[in-house]
């Protein structure tokens, strides 16, 4: 299996969903758990495109629900790897909402998930490096190590004093 570096765009995965009554809460808006599932599925495919491996969700780093998404809306999810480490990959998911009546489409949500490539026994496997190309890909790549360190501290897998890049965020020059 080649571990040649890959471009972020090579992992681009686009999912389209229609918000149906079974996806909504009593107010008639998409409920958060369904959106999390759609984001997880789309992001997992992006991580598998990058690694050509089976992947598992290691953590959901961040999800923002900025506004309700109405019944009948069309939801488009765009997932791309933002950085690959040894066996783990950070994935950004941008969510767009389209109102089919007005035809208007806008960006409504963003999420960051982390996946790990594993073998048949569940042991982590190496993944290719990521080459960021656009300005936004480079910005997301640059912040990924700090987000990884924060996630590992919260999971009790890293001591705060070991997180040099994260500490740099809070220290004054």
Ligand X SMILES: CC(C)(COP(=O)(O)OP(=O)(O)OC[C@H]1O[C@@H](n2cnc3c(N)ncnc32)[C@H](O)[C@@H]1OP(=O)(O)O)[C@@H](O)C(=O)NCCC(=O)NCCS
Contacts with ligand X by CB under 6 A lie at 56-59, 85-88, 114, 116, 118, 122, 124, 148, 151-152, 155, 157
Strands of the sheet with 88-98, listed across from one edge: 13-18, 74-84, 88-98, 105-118, 54-65
Nearer to ligand X, 2 or 121 (CB): 121
Query: What is the smallest separation between the CB atom of 151 and ligand X, expressed in angstroms?
Result: 4
Measured over the CA atoms of residue 161, residue 82, residue 49 and residue 151, the dihedral's sign is positive
Nearer to ligand X, 16 or 123 (CB): 123
Contacts of 142 (CB under 8 A, 6+ apart): none
Nearer to ligand X, 34 or 148 (CB): 148
Query: What is the smallest separation between the CB atom of 15 and ligand X, expressed in angstroms?
Result: 18
Contacts of 169 (CB under 8 A, 6+ apart): 146
Residue nearest to ligand X (CB): 85
Query: What is the smallest separation between the CB atom of 147 and ligand X, expressed in angstroms?
Result: 8
- The separation between CA 35 and the C-alpha centre of its own chain, rounded to angstroms, equals 13
């Amino acid at each position: 299996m080649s571990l040649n570096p890959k471009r972020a765009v090579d992992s681009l995965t686009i999912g389209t969903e229609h918000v149906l009554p079974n996806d909504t809460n009593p107010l008639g808006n998409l409920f958060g758990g369904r959106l999390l599932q759609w984001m997880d599925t789309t992001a997992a495919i992006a991580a598998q495109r990058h690694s050509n491996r089976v992947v598992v969700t290691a953590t959901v780093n961040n999800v923002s629900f900025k506004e309700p998404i109405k019944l009948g809306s069309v939801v488009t999810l765009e997932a791309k790897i933002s950085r690959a480490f040894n066996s783990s990959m950070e994935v950004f998911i941008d969510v767009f909402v389209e109102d089919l009546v007005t035809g208007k489409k806008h960006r409504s949500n963003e999420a960051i998930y982390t996946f790990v490539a594993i073998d048949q026994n569940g042991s982590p496997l190496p993944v290719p490096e990521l080459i960021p190309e656009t300005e936004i890909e480079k910005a997301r790549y640059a912040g990924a190590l700090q987000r990884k360190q924060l996630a590992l501290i919260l999971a009790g897998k890293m001591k705060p004093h070991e997180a040099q890049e994260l500490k740099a965020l809070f220290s004054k020059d």
